[in-house]
Structure 1
Amino acid sequence: MEKRDIRVSIIEDVVPIRENVCYYLELDPHIEMAGEFGSAESFFQHFENRSSQHPDILLLDIGLPGMSGLEALPRIREELPDVDVVMLTSYEDEQTILKALCSGAVGYISKKADQEEIVEALKIVQKGGSYMSPHIAREIVTHFARPKEEQKPQLLTERQLEIIQRLVDGLSYKEIADQLYVSVETVRSHIKKMYRALEVNNKAEAIALYLRGEID
């Protein structure tokens, strides 16, 4: 069998998405799947043995159970410095994109991208380049074109953003805790800190700010 050029792993907790991406990538004669994982923790556990052959490129989601993709990224760069990390995620806000790129990601692909775009991105990265979905790249260009005084500071942490997005969706504290694989008390603690950061007194006020686009 002809040796494939690009070894790719993926961390994605949504099984149908993960399986569809893997299926399509393996159809390309240049790509070999080198592991699929539902969490960052399972990825680290698999590769904690240095003798395991690591991938050339890792496709990394952000909204993962347990350790988020953004939390995992610095550790991946430290423990597996030769692995190029490409974000594959539905998070498309400016601050999340910038945080991922500043933490060492070499690419950022929207989950809205078709499979052909993902394959093309992997080939560009393998050749030493970087790739961003076109509308993601436009977001970054807009950020740097904006006068500094217009650039708003990030009010919430990435985890707090995950929580408020779920509050907007109508989830209870327990449902949020179950989705994020944390305790209800941890969710309550994040929400209290979020209220202080936003200078609001309750959930309704926080949700109103989010819906008005005043939270980045």
Structure 2
Amino acid sequence: SKLTKLTNLVKECENIKLTTILSHYSTQMNNFGQFKKNVESLIENIKILSDAGINVENINLGGGFPEAVIMPETQLREIANNINSTLSNSEFNFKNIYFEPGRYFIGDAGIFLAKIIKVSEDRWIFLDIGNHICPKFAKCSLRFYNASKINEPHKFKTSIAGIVPTDQDVLAKNYFFTKYLKENDIVMVTNVGAYTLTFSNRFPYTLPKIILVKNRTITEIFDPLRNYDFSLT
């Protein structure tokens, strides 16, 4: 069995010490029930390892947290307390418990500034960005605001498409937006700080300019005409 192979491998490899088990259950998890399933699955498998003589000191519950604007701090604390209670009721005591809340930390740190390049009669608007830089695989909780009419109510259903020439490049359907739609209006797209660059591609368009806003200082950190490709290094 796979368990037998694992136990034999651990015994044979003197320089390998198995100390931690990782379980990344899902993404955009917004209720304790999902986290609980992850914890219970992890404990069940740790018991199997323990019975086979493999003792796990630490657990890593992975990520799965949504953006901070989606999960308020009160909800985060409630989930953390429930996880702690579930682990306390298990038969195991762990030295360290790890999480990977990357999206929670940086999801709302990224913003796209896009432009409306076309307005159709059935309240579809087309932006000058698309799935090449805002991919569906990123699983972002996108929010759209008409920055050119920011004080107007956003309560009129509008569908939003990207610039990539495919019917799959739909960013949102029936999204509440401003009543009046106009070409060249600036649209602010929030919650794009996690994974958008990671999953982006250079076809059929180059990456946009990237600026860093820190306190009151604005710094351009990437220009496709100058830098050709983006890297944080």
TM (norm. structure 2) is: 0.28
Look at both structures and tell me which one has the larger radius of gyration over its CA atoms: 2
Structure with the largest fraction of helix: 1
The structure carrying a bigger strand percent of its residues is 2
Question: Larger relative contact order (C-alpha < 8 A, sep ≥ 6)?
Answer: 2
User: What TM-score does the superposition give when structure 1 sets the normalisation length?
Assistant: 0.29
